[in-house]
Amino acid sequence: MPEKTDNSRYIRIWQTVQLIPTGTVATYGQIADLAGLPGRARLVGKALAKVPDLGWKNQAVPWYRVVNSQGKISFPIDSESFVRQKGLLQEENIIVQGAKIKLFEFQWQPDLTELLFKLTY
């Protein structure tokens, strides 16, 4: 069971990931920064692996919209998780070439008001 401090960090990460709009992606580092956890990109990956089955506060946490800093899916190519993530992204009309998404085209660029009114921490 994660420590209480990890749990509160996980919740901040989940809440941030819930804000990523359909048809866009964010990087692990971007989510860490927005969640107030700069330099904790790996913690984002850990938190996404621990999302409750019903999501957070009965809302889905779209883990599949988070990619690495090069715009790539981090799972090994042809793994079940890779195929699932790629398929979910493609359902949202995000173009995935091999394992890569063009960040300049699909990366979420939240505006300040969006963050001020939607993030609760």
**20-49 pLDDT, tens per residue?**
999 999 999 999 999 999 999 999 999 999
Cβ proximity of 99 and 18 under 8 Å: no
C-alpha pair distances (Å), 71 with each of 8, 17, 26, 60, 114? 27, 16, 8, 22, 23
**What are the DSSP E strand ranges found in the chain?**
26-27, 66-67
So what's the pLDDT on residue 3? 44
Look over the chain and give the mean of its residue pLDDT values, rounded to a whole number: 92
